[in-house]
Amino acid sequence: MSSMDIRKEIKSLVEDSIKKTHKKDFTVQVLKPKDKAHGDFAVSVALEIGKEMKINPMDVALDIKKNIKSELFKKIEIVSPGFINFFVSEKIIKQEIKTVLKEKEKFGNLEIGKGKKIQVEFVSANPTGPLTVGNGRGGPFGDVLGNVFKKAGYKVEKAYYVNDFGKQILSLGHSILKDEEAKYSGEYIDALKVKGNDAYEVGKKGAEIILNEMIKKTIDKLGIKYDEWFFESVLHKKGEIDKTIETLKKKDLTYENEGALWFKSTNFKDERDRVLIKENKEKTYLAGDIAYHKYKFEKKKFDKVINIWGADHFGDVAGLKAGVEALGYKDKLEVILLQFVTVLKDGVPVKMSKRLGTAITMDDLLEELSSDVVRFFFLEKSANTHLAFNFNLAKEQSEKNPVFYVQYAYARISSILKKAENIKTVKEFSLLNEKREIELMKQILKFKEVIEDTSMDHQLQRIPQYAIDLATTFHGFYQDCQVLVEDKELKNQRLNLILATQITLKNVLDLMGVSAPEKM
Compute φ and ψ for 78, nearest 5 degrees.
Answer: -105, 130
Note whether residue 442 is domain-resident.
yes
**Per the domain annotation, does 300 fall within a domain?**
no
Lowest mean pLDDT among 150-164, 418-432, 475-489: 418-432
- Per the domain annotation, does 453 fall within a domain? yes
Asked if residue 284 is part of any domain, the answer here is: no
Pair 32, 53 in one domain: yes
> Which structural domain, as residue segments, surrounds residue 490?
94-110+399-512
Say yes or no: 432 and 507 in one domain. yes
The sign of the torsion formed by the CA atoms of 366, 372, 376, 379 equals: positive
Statement to judge: residues 373 and 424 lie in one domain = no
CB-based contact 458:145 (threshold 8 Å): yes
Beta strands at 117-122 and 304-310: parallel, antiparallel or unpaired: parallel
pLDDT tens digits for 278-298?
999 999 999 999 999 999 999
* pLDDT at residue 53 in the model: 87
Percent of the chain with pLDDT over 90: 90
pLDDT at site 24: 78
Confidence tier at 101 by pLDDT (50, 70, 90): very high
What CATH code is carried by the domain that includes residue 21?
Answer: 3.30.1360.70
* 389 and 456 fall within a common domain: no
Closest CA to 144 of 378, 429, 475: 378
pLDDT in the model for residue 359: 82
pLDDT at 4 over 60: no
Closest among 228, 242, 255, 321 to 288, alpha carbons compared: 242
Asked, for residue 296, whether it belongs to a domain, the answer is no
Give yes or no: residues 350 and 473 share one domain: no
The answer to whether residue 325 sits within a structural domain is no
**Which helix (H) or strand (E) segment is 122 a member of?**
strand 117-122
Q: How far apart are the first and last CA of the chain?
A: 37
Q: Are residues 231 and 347 in the same domain?
A: yes
Q: Which of 348, 365, 395 is the last residue of a domain?
A: 395
pLDDT at 23: 78
The model's pTM: 0.94
Mean local confidence (pLDDT), 3-15: 83
DSSP annotation of 211 reads: I
- 229 and 130 within one domain: yes
Burial 441-467 (b: 16+ CB within 10 A, else e): bbbbbbbbbbbbbbbeebebebbbebb
Query: What's the CATH code of the domain at 102?
Result: 1.10.730.10
Averaged pLDDT, 394-399: 95
What contacts 495, CB < 8 A, 6 or more positions away? 416, 417, 420, 423, 483
Is 130 a residue whose pLDDT tops 80?
Answer: yes
Q: Please state the rounded mean pLDDT for residues 87-102.
A: 95
- The model's confidence at residue 370, banded by pLDDT at 50, 70 and 90, is very high
3-state secondary structure of 156: strand
Determine the 3-state secondary structure of 325 from DSSP: helix
- Residues 127 and 233 reside in one and the same domain: yes
One-letter amino acid identity for 426?
Answer: V
Do 194 and 165 sit in the same domain of this protein?
yes
pLDDT at 123 over 70: yes
326 lies in some domain: no
pLDDT in tens, 28-85: 999 989 888 999 999 999 998 889 888 999 999 999 999 998 899 999 999 999 999 9
**Per-residue confidence (pLDDT) for residue 326, from 0 to 100:** 98
Of 23-27, 119-123, 331-335, which range is least confident? 23-27
pLDDT at 505: 98
Q: How many structural domains does the chain have? A: 3
Arithmetic mean of pLDDT, 418-442: 93
Distance CA 243, CA 251 (A): 13
**26 and 141, same structural domain?**
no
Of residues 95 and 1, more confidently modeled: 95
pLDDT confidence of residue 352: 67
pLDDT-based confidence at residue 21 (cuts at 50, 70, 90): confident
What mean pLDDT is reported for the chain? 94
Which pLDDT score is estimated for 232?
A: 96
Q: Which of 19-33, 90-104, 253-267, 391-405 comes out lowest in average pLDDT?
A: 19-33
- What does the pLDDT read at residue 87? 95
What's the confidence (pLDDT) of residue 354?
A: 60
Q: Which CATH number covers residue 211?
A: 3.40.50.620
Mean pLDDT within 228-257: 97
Within-domain flag for 321? no
Please tell me whether residues 168 and 57 are part of one structural domain.
Answer: no
Calpha distance 110→471 (Å, rounded): 23
| Claim to verify: residue 150 and residue 222 sit in the same structural domain | yes
Q: What is the pLDDT of residue 52?
A: 87
Check residue 1 and give its pLDDT. Answer: 43
The b-or-e profile of 114-139 (16+ CB within 10 A means b, else e) is eeebbbbbbbbbbbbbbbbbbbbbbb
HEC letters along 241-300: HHHHHHHHHHCCCEEEECCEEEECHHHHCCCCCEEEECCCCCECHHHHHHHHHHHHHHHC
- Pinpoint the alpha helices (H) of 104-166: 133-136, 138-151
- The count of other CB atoms within 10 Å of the CB of residue 185 is 14
Residue ending a domain, choose from 395, 416, 434: 395
The predicted pLDDT at position 384 comes to 96
* DSSP-assigned beta bridge partners for residue 387: 341
Instruction: State the helix-helix crossing angle for 435-445 and 488-512, rounded to 10 degrees.
Output: 30
pLDDT of residue 355: 63
Tell which of 352, 373, 395 closes a domain.
395
